[in-house]
A = this chain, B = another copy of it.
């Protein structure tokens, strides 16, 4: 592959063909990808890979870790992508640029339950997901003008075949009395952890008190929210703002 020495602003790569942010090039990433947020979780999963051939590992300066190896002989890549939409976008775009053919991506992570029957320790495999985004225009609305503080996208459908296969496989191999595997009709993701997931923070004007209620009114089948747990802290009254207590006098270092 001829890669221009000059930076292409539309798709920057270095002279060896490494994509700019994820830091890998063709031949270093498999078509089968399991992705997580936290590198510590990636390392736990990577410990299950075959010892031989020795897995390829790379951590980029921009916060992506890629491990490519074999699991029971099948080539697979594990990718830790950190947090946030921008990181997901970097990951998908740049992996697409260095892998040819179809790509299978499974995102493995923790999230909160909005369905009281879906208990801690369960595994959900969502069929669809909505995106909750901050609506910056809300904080600039003219007097009397009603502009919602958050936008909820239409549901986006996961690959049906992959979803069914994942649910079926997990049901057979992982399900236990303390771990229910359930196919979830709808999952919600969010652009920020605090305001867009309905957390109440008296330090900031978020106008998010009714966010989860309005989400559930619109989508009663929304079963999970990344990375939010509804019980026991989400209630009609704000939590005690323990983090707002003044800290002790700050010691001078040295």
Contacts of A253 in B (CB 8 A): 53-56, 68-69, 75
| Docked pose: A101 CA to B43 CA in angstroms | 39
Contact A193 B21 (CB under 8 A): yes
Q: Is the CB of A39 closer than 8 A to any CB of chain B?
A: yes
Interface string of A77-90 (1 = CB under 8 A from B): 00000111111011
Main secondary structure of the interface of A (DSSP, over half): loop
Residue of B nearest to A250 (CB): B27
The residues of B that contact A63 with a CB separation of less than 8 Å are 63, 82-83
Copies in the complex: 2
Residues of B within 8 A of A201 (CB): 10-11, 93
Give a binary string over A2-23; 1 marks a CB under 8 Å from any B CB, 0 the rest: 1110001111010000010100
Residue among A9, A56, A68, A89 with max Cβ neighbours from chain B (10 Å): A9
Q: Taking A38-B61, A137-B153 as contacts, is the C-beta distance between A194 and B239 under 8 angstroms?
A: no
| Bound CA span A140–B55, Å | 41
Interface presence of A26 (CB below 8 A): yes
Q: How many residues of A contact B (CB 8 A)?
A: 83
Give the residues from 178 to 204 in chain A that come closer than 8 angstroms, CB to CB, to chain B.
Answer: 191-195, 199-201, 203-204
Q: Which residues between 32 and 81 of chain A lie within 8 Å of chain B, taking CB atoms?
A: 37-40, 52-56, 61-63, 68-69, 75
Kindly list the 6 A-B residue pairs having the minimum CB-CB distance in the complex, ordered from nearest. A53-B254, A84-B86, A26-B247, A136-B153, A84-B84, A140-B154
A: residues with CB less than 8 A from B are 1-4, 8-11, 13, 19, 21, 26-27, 37-40, 52-56, 61-63, 68-69, 75, 82-87, 89-90, 93, 96-100, 112, 131, 133-137, 140, 151, 153-154, 156, 191-195, 199-201, 203-204, 228-229, 233-234, 238-239, 241-248, 250-254
